[in-house]
Structures are given as structure tokens and as C-alpha cells.
Structure 1
Amino acid sequence: MSEPLSLVWLRRDLRLHDNAALYYAFKRGRPVIPVFIFDRTILDDLDDRQDRRVEFLVQEVNRLHEELAKMGSTLLVRYGKPIDVWKELLTQYRVSDVFANHDYEVYAKERDKAIGDLLTEQGIGFHTSKDQTIFERDEVLTGKKTPYTVFTPYSRKWNDKLTDFYLKAYPTENYFSQFWKTKPEKVPTLAEMDFQPVGEPFPARTVSDKLLDNYNETRDFPALPHGTSQLGMHLRFGTVSIRELARQAREAEDKTFLNELCWRDFYFQVLDHFPHVETYSFRREYDQIDWRNNEDEFEKWCNGETGYPIVDAGMRQLNTIGWMHNRVRMITASFLCKHLLIDWRWGEAYFGKKLRDYDLSANNGGWQWAAGSGTDAAPYFRVFNPERQAQKFDPKSVYIRQWVPEVDGPNYPKPIVEHTMARQRAIDTYRKALAKSK
């Protein structure tokens, strides 16, 4: 093949509409082929061979593949380690440029640097763009040109900056004729990658205006079947456009959902500027905490057998459907860190294995908030009372009885720990650790 091509490497942006990398590839004027890599660096580390995220990826990659086939083109889908895949692609195609969208995790940045170096050695351009956030990196800074580490002032600046310009869609549809015309290639199956389907339906990729208009009234009540958007999975893999969603949220009567999108950007920029949070506390003095890390108690928490119904309901929901209501995520996380004094990283990793909408930045931010070690941290002396949380947010125990049907029977376990004692133990342990760092 003599004609040079532009390749677009899709990662967390699995859509053809309103895609920054795809738009800039089209603007280069050459034929375009999208590429997707099932990354073995990630997949080989997954314990569960029925991982919902892999099943979702296969579904969405096939959807894209079919869209492109209808246009007489294809999606190049590969299964392997990115550096090996790219070396192979460069021998198969005459590539002039590669386009991709930014990612902010430590592994992703290291991966992209390695691929960028490989392409540069071959004289091939590597161009990356902002796509999965509204604002990133250094776009929202303090007056001293430093990154924000507290959400409230960040959100004020974020909202002040949120003009139509930043929410404008990339008109990729105008250029679809530039997709390189070729026969469709085969997409690897779940079985070929040693995974098995769960076979459950995935959440819808749209959210109603009515839900957004009432988001603040519904989002904290886990028994409501449609109280939250459940768009996390689509946002994680970019099957929806963040700009399109933000435009819809900005038009809503209630701005709570727009504020949730602001939190998402905030945690991305925290991860980008302070990569140590992947492994350590944002506030490093919290790494001095003398965690109890009782393995039996951790197992009971994982299995939803703590004797605290709202905690157990949340963990069983997570284990059963790979998703947990956001309010209950806060309750279960606080319980693990404060009541049981188990390192937040244990809980973060467990959520990371189970959540179908797992996103490192938001998961890490939420867990560090619960542990008190993060940016906008709950003060260490604020310890959620699970019983009061249940009374407030599940007053008729509808959610609890859905997931813990034996809650009123003789077989339901007694509480693993007494609240008043556990609260004081947590406060004393935290106070002692923080005194060490002064």
C-alpha cells in the first residue's frame, strides 16, 4: 500500500462522534483508520474472568466495528501489549501520523511516552488531545498558577470558565468519507482472550432531562431505581461525549449533576498533578496511621456480613451487579477506614476489582475522602454512623431488604463492632498518627 495513513488510537473514547483525536486526524487530510488495543498489561492482571468491563469493551468495540463496516472501513483491533502491537502495525501499514486523546493515570502516561518514543524514532508524528475532560491539566489554576487542592474554589473557577467554546462538539461526522476503505477485520472474542460473559444488560448511555432536573432530590436514596444517572461506565470508556453531557446538564433546572462532572474533572487534575495519590495518601502525614488491618474483618466487609445492614446491602449490591449506589459507597468506605481501621487502599483495590464503572481517579478520590487523607477530606473526627445514614437515606429499609433479606431474622449477624467504641478508637488512632508528623 503506497498511500500514507493517519491512525487514531482509541482508548477511553470509544465513539466516532465528537472525538477530538479523530477530528484532528481528519483535519490532517489523509485516510484515517481507528485502532483499538485490548491491553494485556491490564487484562492479564484481572482476577475475575467474568469481568463486566471487558465484556462491555468487547460489546462497544464490536459496535464501532459495525459502524465503520457500514462505511466501507474497519477498526483495527488487536490483543497484546501496546508496544508490541504498535511495532507490528508499523510493519503492516504506511503510517504518517498517530492521533490519541490524553489519559492521566501513571501507567497510561508511561505507556504513551513509550509509544511516542517509538513513533518518533520512525519519523512518525504522535499527536494527543484533550477529550475525556472538560478542563484538564493547567486549564483551571489558582491565582498563583498552582493546581487547586480544594474542590470548592476549583469549582468556582471551573464554572466561571465554562463557556460554550469548551462544550462545542467536534464535527467528525462531516469527515467520515475520509475513513480508509478496506475490508472489515475480525474482532477478538471474549473467549479468545480467556474471558467469559456475565450476560447482564448494561446501563443506558443517555440520561433524561427530568432526572437531571431533580438530581439533588433523588441521588442520595439508594432504593430509588432511577435516582442516579448510572453513566459512570459510559464516561469511563468514552462511549458518551463529556461535552454533550455537560451541555445537557447545564440546561437542567438543578445544577447538581453539572457539579458531579466538575468533581470528575477535579479528580483527574489531582491525579495528573499529584501522581503519588495512586499509591500514597494525598496528605502524606496520613500514611502514619497505625491501621489494624484485621483480615477476618476485611473479609466480612467484602462479603456484606458486618451486622450493619446499610453496609452489608452496599457490599452485596457491589458483589452481585458490579455497581454500588454512590451514597452507599461513602458509607461502606467510611465504615472500613474508621470503624474497622483498615487501610483505605485495601478497600480501594476491592472496589477496583468489582466496579463496572471503575475509574482510578474518582475511586481514589472517594476513598481518600472517606479516609480523611485526600484533598477535600472528611475531617478525621467525622465518622459516619451507619444506622443514622440508613435512617436518613433508606428510611423504610427498602434498599436494605432488597440486598439483605434476612436482616430481621435470627441468622443475621450481630454488629462486627460497636459504633461508639469504634468511633472513639478511630479518632484516637488518627490523632496519634497526626501528632507524630508535627
Structure 2
Amino acid sequence: MTAPSILWLRRDLRLSDQAALVAAAAAGPVIPVFILDDDTPKHRRMGAASRWWLHHSLASLDASLHEKRSRLILRRGKCEEQLALIAAETGARSVHCLRHYEPWWRNAEKAVAKQLDLQCHDGNYLLPPGSLTTGGGTPYKIYTPFWRALKEHMPPPSPSNRPREIAAPDKWPASDMLADWNLLPTKPDWATGFTAQWEPGEAGARKRIAAFADEAADYDRCRNLPSQEGSSRLSPHLHFGEVSPATIWQRTADAGGSVDVFLGEIGWRDYAQNIILQFPDYGGRSARAAFDVDLPWRSGSAADADLAAWQQGRTGYPIVDAGMRQLWATGWMHNRVRMIAASFLIKHLLLDWRLGEQWFWDTLVDADYASNAVNWQWVAGSGVDSNMFPRIMAPLTQSEKFDAAAYIHQWVPELAELTEPAIHDPESFGQRPRSYPAKIIGHREARERALAAYDVMKAHGN
């Protein structure tokens, strides 16, 4: 019998438009494998919310494989060690995978290639990260010219169908039981609100695309309105590879209206991967060194208390608190509110952007190393392409401008009886309920403190 191939799955948990699966299936029998490797990423091991999603996504993928008379093999440990063991058990001679660009996955691919015939394929991005360069042959660092160049290569190739058949090996290797991995929270189960919001897996991704395709033309307006939830909500499906970006492009590109704004967000995802390919430590080090060396970030007990208040949605700023509570309850936060909440932590509280990045890493179901790091550094002003630090969002103004009243009513029940305009700033209108905290700091005071800290950094730079 033909020797089987191993299909090494990571953040590509789908059967459709899966180049590694297509190649493995064409070669003969296939052994699909997912390895829970917490050793290789070290401090970047998957966060708690992502682990909830992973459990359900793996269960969905295994069910889809069973429909093809195949199955998903689960192992725990270092990838190169487990793949070598599986190859020895089954006589597999090659490993097929989609390329990943996080620094730990690039290291893992090198380690696997030293022991086995590793064949890497593309398919998790519109174009392979690193393949798009300037006229001088250097990687892009600024998004706008990157996106302009990327569009010249669009549309992407048509997505491939899932294989009609996936031949099984003569012998299946041993597999862990998914339940034994304890990916789901217990005592307490803080993810009860996740189930009502999400359907992890390839089928859930298809449903989400179908729902969004009818809304894509009005994306530019609705994406900024938290009460309408005009975001695509495709980010966790994309992160776990339950759908390819090429498939999303194909399904939405002809929607008309402002769909190009949405496609630009898919391009931003590609851009973020290109950035971490150039700067692998982007999630832990500011691209502008002065932010790490000279900016006087706050620390100590008062700063710790402010961080906890931000995490718990108890800042006294309703739009910020609504976002942070939505995040805790659902593992996700509206796009506009993410920017407001991030700006508040960095500039109103003068807390290091990495504290926010780490909290999002643990609590977001779409926690993506590249996108998370690039977005936080953009807000902080520390990135290679970023907003300027002195541009400080006014959360109270943003709340009213983007019609967030219903959103606040939903996520901050203490304010459910308030109407506009007091709902956006109950303290200033003298309508703050006793159950709702006072502002952790006034907007003007916070702005002046942030600008003073920025002046300190600039003075050191001189």
C-alpha cells in the first residue's frame, strides 16, 4: 500500500480551499493531525478564550473528516517530536502543511524539516507574506502602499473544493481524546455566553459569510456603529483557518457599495503578517524604541488598580466599560470599541500597550499574534505604521458620535434606565447610579497627563 502522508494542521482547520490537504490527498492515504503544542510558543501559548474556540473547531473538523471516512488524530507535545513518532508508527514519509508566520511556528517548521520531508503550501493569506516588495526589493512597512500593491494581484485564485475522497491509511496511529485536553473552562464556566454568539467550525464560517454577504455593501457605515454590530464577525473563523481569505474575497467582492473598505480589512490582515515576518518580536517590543525606553508609563499599585478597573469594565466611561464587558462575556469586541478601549488604556490611563495586548491575547477568541500586535502598536503610536500618540480619542464624544446608546444598555445594565445624551456621560449629567463607578480619571486631566508624558519622551530623544 502507498505510504501515507501526514496532514499537519494548526490554524487551518478546514477541508475547503486547503492546499496542504489537496496535495496530501493526491499523494495517497492521509493522516490528519493536530498537535496541542504549548512548549514551542512558550509565553505565547494559546489564551483561554482561544482554547474554548479550538475545542469546538476541532470537534467540528473531526466530524467533517468522518463524513469522508477519515478522522483527526490528536496529540499533545512538541510538534517535531509528535510528528516523528506518528511517522514511525505509520510509515508516513512526508508531512504536508500550510505555512505559518508566527516566529514560534517558523521555528517549529524548521525543526520538523530536519527530521521529515516537510512540504509547505500557501493558502492562509491573500498572498504569501514576504512575497510582495517595493520597487527597491524591500518589504513594505506602511499599509497604504502595501494595500495598493496587493490589490494589483487581486482577485486571488479561485478557491479549491474539498477533496471528494480522503483515503485512509492502513493503520491509524493512537490519538488523544479531545475532552482530556481540558480546553473548556470549568469551575467556573465563564464561557456560557460564548455559545449563544458563536458557531466555531467550517460550517459556522459558511453561515457567517452568507449572513455578512448581504450586509457588505454598507460596511463602511455600519462597522462604526456598535449598536448595529456591523462588523463581519469573521475574524475568529479566519484566525483558526475555518475559511480562507480567498473564499471570503470571492463571496463578497461584488457586493458593491463600500465593500472595498471591508476588503481592505482583509488586506490589513495580510499586512500584519508581513510586519511580524520582518519584526518577529513585534508583540513584545515597540517598533519605536523611545516608547520602551523614554516614555514614563505608569506602574505601581495605583496603576495596577486602574488596569484591573479597565479589565473589569469599571472605568466610569460607559463606552469603554461596555466594550470590556462584551469582551469578557463573548470573547469578542466591536471593532470601533476596540480602538476606543485600547486608546483609553494607553493614553487616559498611561499604561503600557503590552498590558492591553496581553489581556486581549487571553480573552479574544480571534487573538491573532500579528493583528493583535499591529493594532495595539498602531493605537499607541509605537508601530512602524501607526497613529500619532498625541491623537487621543475622546471616548465620551466617540460614544455619542457613533450612536452607542443601545450597545451601552446591553452591556452596562446599571445604566439601562438612562436615555440620551446622559447615557454617554452619566456623571456629567448628574445621573450616575450608585452602582456605577465614578470616572477613573477626567478626560481633560488624562489628556494633559498623556501629552506631558509624550513631551518627556521627546525631550529624551533630543
Rate the CA distance shift 1:69–1:276 in 2: closer, same or farther, 3 A: closer
Match of 1:81 in 2: 78
SS in 1 for 2:298: coil
Residue 383 (structure 2) pairs with residue 385 (structure 1)? no
Match of 2:134 in 1: 142
Match of 1:63 in 2: 60
Rate the CA distance shift 1:335–1:268 in 2: closer, same or farther, 3 A: same
Rate the CA distance shift 1:269–1:42 in 2: closer, same or farther, 3 A: same
State whether residues 377 and 383 of structure 2, in contact with CA within 8 Å, keep that contact through their aligned partners in structure 1: yes
Match of 1:252 in 2: 255
Q: Deviations over 1:360-409 (max 9, x none)?
A: 111111111111111331111100011101111135x1111211122341
**Structure 1 residues 215-226: aligned runs within 5 Å:** 215-225=219-229
Q: Residue 399 of structure 1 aligns to which amino acid in structure 2? A: Y
State whether residues 394 and 400 of structure 1, in contact with CA within 8 Å, keep that contact through their aligned partners in structure 2: no
Match of 1:433 in 2: 457
Give the share of equivalent positions with the same residue, in percent: 34
Match of 1:233 in 2: 236
140-149 or 407-416, which deviates more? 407-416
Q: Residue 20 of structure 2 aligns to which amino acid in structure 1? A: A
SS in 1 for 2:390: coil
Match of 1:133 in 2: 125
Per-residue deviation, 1:428: 2.1
227-236 or 275-284, which deviates more? 275-284
- CA–CA separation in structure 1 for the residues paired with 2:103 and 2:379: 23
Rate the CA distance shift 1:177–1:82 in 2: closer, same or farther, 3 A: closer
Rate the CA distance shift 1:196–1:47 in 2: closer, same or farther, 3 A: farther
- CA–CA separation in structure 2 for the residues paired with 1:10 and 1:428: 48
- CA–CA separation in structure 1 for the residues paired with 2:79 and 2:38: 8
Rate the CA distance shift 1:400–1:374 in 2: closer, same or farther, 3 A: same
State whether residues 380 and 430 of structure 1, in contact with CA within 8 Å, keep that contact through their aligned partners in structure 2: yes
Per-residue deviation, 1:68: 2.4
Q: Residue 7 of structure 1 aligns to which amino acid in structure 2? A: I
Q: Residue 33 of structure 2 aligns to which amino acid in structure 1? A: V
Q: Deviations over 1:1-20 (max 9, x none)?
A: x6411111011111111101
Rate the CA distance shift 1:167–1:375 in 2: closer, same or farther, 3 A: farther
1:189 is aligned, of 168, 178, 182, to: 178
Residue 222 (structure 2) pairs with residue 212 (structure 1)? no
**Structure 1 residues 282-321: aligned runs within 5 Å:** 282-288=287-293, 289-293=295-299, 294-321=303-330
**Structure 1 residues 287-436: aligned runs within 5 Å:** 287-288=292-293, 289-293=295-299, 294-395=303-404, 397-407=405-415, 408-436=432-460
Rate the CA distance shift 1:48–1:379 in 2: closer, same or farther, 3 A: closer
Q: What is the aligned length? A: 425
- CA–CA separation in structure 2 for the residues paired with 1:42 and 1:320: 29
- CA–CA separation in structure 2 for the residues paired with 1:87 and 1:183: 15
Per-residue deviation, 1:434: 3.1
- CA–CA separation in structure 2 for the residues paired with 1:78 and 1:415: 48
Per-residue deviation, 1:73: 2.4
State whether residues 319 and 399 of structure 2, in contact with CA within 8 Å, keep that contact through their aligned partners in structure 1: yes
- CA–CA separation in structure 1 for the residues paired with 2:19 and 2:321: 42
Per-residue deviation, 1:160: 1.5
State whether residues 151 and 263 of structure 1, in contact with CA within 8 Å, keep that contact through their aligned partners in structure 2: yes
Q: For the aligned residues, what is the CA RMSD?
A: 2.4
Per-residue deviation, 1:42: 7.3
Match of 1:264 in 2: 269
Rate the CA distance shift 1:401–1:102 in 2: closer, same or farther, 3 A: same
State whether residues 339 and 426 of structure 1, in contact with CA within 8 Å, keep that contact through their aligned partners in structure 2: yes
Match of 1:158 in 2: 150
State whether residues 236 and 359 of structure 1, in contact with CA within 8 Å, keep that contact through their aligned partners in structure 2: yes
Match of 2:37 in 1: 39
State whether residues 6 and 95 of structure 1, in contact with CA within 8 Å, keep that contact through their aligned partners in structure 2: yes
Q: Residue 178 of structure 2 aligns to which amino acid in structure 1? A: T
Q: Residue 135 of structure 2 aligns to which amino acid in structure 1? A: G
- Unmatched 5+ residue regions in structure 2? 416-431
Q: Deviations over 1:4-40 (max 9, x none)?
A: 111110111111111011122234x232221111223
Per-residue deviation, 1:44: 9.1
Q: Deviations over 1:203-226 (max 9, x none)?
A: 44122322111111211111114x
Rate the CA distance shift 1:71–1:183 in 2: closer, same or farther, 3 A: farther
- Unmatched 5+ residue regions in structure 1? 120-124
Match of 1:122 in 2: none
- CA–CA separation in structure 2 for the residues paired with 1:187 and 1:131: 28
Residue 77 (structure 2) pairs with residue 53 (structure 1)? no
- CA–CA separation in structure 2 for the residues paired with 1:193 and 1:411: 36
- CA–CA separation in structure 1 for the residues paired with 2:361 and 2:249: 26
Per-residue deviation, 1:171: 4.0
Rate the CA distance shift 1:111–1:372 in 2: closer, same or farther, 3 A: same
- CA–CA separation in structure 2 for the residues paired with 1:237 and 1:194: 15
Residue 22 (structure 2) pairs with residue 13 (structure 1)? no
SS in 2 for 1:277: coil
State whether residues 73 and 182 of structure 1, in contact with CA within 8 Å, keep that contact through their aligned partners in structure 2: no
Q: Residue 263 of structure 2 aligns to which amino acid in structure 1? A: L
SS in 1 for 2:281: helix
255-264 or 133-142, which deviates more? 133-142
Per-residue deviation, 1:43: 9.6
Per-residue deviation, 1:133: 0.5
Q: Residue 73 of structure 1 aligns to which amino acid in structure 2? A: S
- CA–CA separation in structure 1 for the residues paired with 2:134 and 2:44: 39
Q: Deviations over 1:236-282 (max 9, x none)?
A: 11111211101123212121211110011000110111113122012
